[in-house]
Amino acid sequence: MKFDKEFDASGMSCPLPIVKTKKALADMESGQVLRVIATDCGAVKDMQAFADQTGHTLLSNTEEGGKYVFMMKKK
């Protein structure tokens, strides 16, 4: 899947993946896609909850080689 920007949150624990995803989205345009990589398994539910509460769209949520990869479309 195509994306416009990537944020690697590998090794970070709650709440950093969410707080820094929010920061990474800040300078992006509406409709652009941010790819987030995380190793914290708590991020799986947190990223969905973040999307639900902020209006951004979580396009996909996959596991690749022990890492979690999220595609977040900015509202």
Binding site for other proteins (CB under 8 A): 11-16, 18-19, 21-23, 39-40, 50, 53-54
The minimum distance between CB 18 and other proteins, in angstroms, equals 5
Residue 15's contacts (CB-CB under 8 Å, 6 or more residues apart) are 46
Cis-peptide, bond into residue 15, ω within 30° of zero? yes
Catalytic residue status for 14: yes
Q: Which of 4, 6, 10, 14 is catalytic?
A: 14
The minimum distance between CB 72 and other proteins, in angstroms, equals 13
Place of tokens 């890492």: 67
